């Protein structure tokens, strides 16, 4: 299956890296100047779907080949398998949280039940799903916050539905992260907030954030080296032309 057939399918880091490699080859061959290279590389790492990646290299040979051809991607089942392994069924490791003038948190490797109930009165709670397993493909988190707050953290790719009611309070919807990953669970956040709030946000794990930071650092080093190499080649060309 090509990228043209699934333009809305979410791209992986490996897909973005393949496009970046095509851009590096194009820079080395003189098909792109440094400004075009940097602009396209930035667009590559900001792209979330195959449809956003495809135009970046449409006018370039794939892998530096002589005949122009757009880069195509296969629908990788890795993410589906990853989510399937995290929908475990069975008993949950925690069914609720309770905070009165205090706080609670659920984080790390734990199993989210089909329905998780939590209550916060003049206190707060954090429900972190980034490393969690799920008892079912759809789970519900029911929050009651009275002069308190609850924060729900979900990983990218998970579908989130917010149905809570706020009275002098509110339920915060997460930012739009594009279509959910194939096979990812659905998280429904509901309940009631009075003089309080329930927030839902998407975050990557600390390890993933560190990996992305290192990847960006490596990209900066490679761009700098490519720029220096291009400058050396141009100086050499000028010397030969004299």
pLDDT computed for residue 3 by the predictor = 39
**Tens-digit pLDDT profile for residues 47-95:** 888 888 888 888 887 643 333 334 444 333 334 447 888 988 877 778 8
**Tens-digit pLDDT profile for residues 144-158:** 999 999 999 999 889
pLDDT computed for residue 24 by the predictor = 80
Tell me the C-alpha distance between 141 and 187, whole Å.
7
β-strands 124-128, 133-134 pairing: unpaired
The 10 Å Cβ neighbour count of residue 200 is 23
**Helices 206-241 and 13-28: crossing angle, nearest 10°?**
10
pLDDT computed for residue 63 by the predictor = 43
pLDDT computed for residue 78 by the predictor = 34
Band the pLDDT of 114: cuts 50, 70, 90: very high
Domain ranges of the chain: 13-76+206-241, 91-202
Share of the chain above pLDDT 90, in %: 34
Q: Does residue 1 have a pLDDT over 50?
A: no
Band the pLDDT of 190: cuts 50, 70, 90: very high
């Amino acid at each position: 299956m090509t990228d043209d057939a699934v333009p809305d399918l979410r791209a992986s880091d490996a897909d973005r890296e393949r496009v970046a490699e095509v851009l590096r080859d194009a820079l080395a061959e003189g098909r792109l100047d440094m400004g075009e290279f940097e602009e396209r590389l930035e667009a590559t790492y900001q792209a979330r779907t195959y449809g956003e990646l495809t135009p970046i290299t449409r006018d370039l040979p794939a892998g530096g080949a002589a005949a122009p051809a757009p880069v195509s991607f296969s629908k990788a089942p890795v993410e589906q398998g990853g989510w399937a392994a995290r929908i475990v069924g069975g008993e949950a490791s925690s069914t609720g949280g309770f905070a009165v003038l205090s706080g609670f948190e659920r984080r790390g490797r734990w199993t989210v039940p089909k329905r998780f109930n939590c209550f916060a009165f003049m206190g707060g709670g954090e429900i972190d799903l980034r490393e969690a397993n799920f008892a079912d493909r759809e789970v519900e988190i029911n929050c009651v916050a009275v002069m308190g707050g609850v924060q729900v953290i979900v990983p990218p790719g998970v579908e989130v539905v917010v149905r809570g009611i706020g009275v002098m309070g509110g339920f915060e919807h997460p930012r739009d992260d594009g279509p959910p990953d194939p096979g990812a669970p659905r998280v429904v956040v509901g309940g009631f907030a009075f003089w309080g709030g329930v927030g839902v946000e998407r975050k990557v794990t600390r390890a993933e954030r560190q990996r992305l930071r290192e990847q960006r650092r490596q990209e900066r080093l490679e761009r700098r080296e490519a720029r220096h190499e291009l400058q050396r080649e141009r100086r050499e060309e000028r010397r030969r032309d004299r």
